[in-house]
Structure 1
Amino acid sequence: MSNAVSSSSSSFVPVEIQDAIQIIDEHKQFNKQILDYISSRSRQPGDYRIISVFGSQSTGKSTLLNHLFSTNFDVMDEVNRQQTTKGIWMAVSPGVSNSLPANAHVPPENILVMDVEGTDGRERGEDQDFERKAALFALSTSEVLIVNMWESQVGLYQGANMGLLKTVFEVNLSLFGKAKLQNNDHKVLLLFVIRDHLGVTPMESLAATITQDLLRIWEGLNKPVDVAHLAFDDFFDLAFHTLSHKVLQNEKFLDDVRSLGNKFLDTSSESFLFKPNYHHDIPIEGWTMYAENCWDQIDHNKDLDLPTQQILVAKFKCDEVAAQCFEEFAKVSHELKNIAVTATQSTEPIDYKDTGLGFQDMKQSVLEDYDLGASKYNKSVYQQKRASLAEKIDSTLQDVFAIYAKHLVTTSLKAVSAGLSRKTRSGTFVEAMEKLKQSSAHDFSQSLALISLDGALDTRPFEKEYLAELEQLVSKQQIVELNSILSKALKKLNNGLSTCFVEELANPSELTWDHILEKFQALSKSALSKYETEEGDYDFRLGTLPSMNKRALKTFDFKSWELLDDLIHKYISKDNLLNILKDRFDDKFRYDENGVPRLYQNTKELEGSFSESKTHALKAFPILTVARLSDGTEVIPKYDVRDKKLKRQYETVREEKEAEEEDEDEWDSEDDENQRAFAELLSESEKAEVMAKFKREMDAKFVETKRSIMQHVTQIPYYIYIVILVLGWNEFMAILRNPFFFTLLIMLAGATYVMYSMNLLGPASIVVQRMANEALGLAKEKLREFVVDDHMQHGHNMKKMTTNDIELDNLSEEST
Structure 2
Amino acid sequence: MAEDKPLNLVDADGQFNDEGMREFASATNLIHCGLGYQIVAVMGPQSSGKSTLLNYVFGTTFKEMDALRGRGQTTRGIWVARSPKIEDVTTLVMDLEGTDGRERGEDDTTFERQSALFALSVADVLLINIWCHDVGREQGAGKPLMKTIFQVNLKLFTPSPGRKKTVLLFVIRDRSKTPMEKLTAVLEDDIRGIWSTMPKPPQYEQTSFRDFFEVAYTSLPNYEEKEDDFRAETYLLRKKFSSEESDSYVRTGDKLPGDAITMSTQKVWELIRTHKDLDLPAHKIMVANTRCAEILTEQLEGLKNDMLWEELVKESEKSVVHNFGERASALITSCLSGYDQEALYFDEEVRANKRLELVEKVQALARPACEQQMRHLRIQMLDDFSKQLKIGTTVDGIPFSECAKRCKEEALAAFADEGAKSDMPSIGWSHSEFCPAMERSVDGMVSDLKKDKVEAVFKTLQDGFATTLVGPSAELLDTMPQQLWQRLRGLMGSAIKQASGQLAKSLEGYDFLEEERDDMESRIQAAAEKIVVSSATEASHTVLNRMRIRFADAFSMDENKMPRTWMPKDNIAKASKVARMAAADVLAQLVIIQVEKNAAAEDAESAVRDMARQDLEDSMSGKRKQQSKYAVMGLSVWPDLDPSCSLVSPQEAFSKWRQFVVETKLQITQAALTQQANRLASHRPPPLWAICAMLLLGFNEFISIVYSPVMLVTMIFGLLFIRTLYMEMDVDAEMQKGALPGLMSLGAKFVPAVKTVSQKTLESTKSLILPESSSSHQQPGGPSNNSSPPGGADGVEGPTSGDQAQTEDRKDK
TM-score range, shorter chain: 0.3 to 0.5
TM (norm. structure 2) is: 0.36
Report the TM-score when normalising by structure 1: 0.36
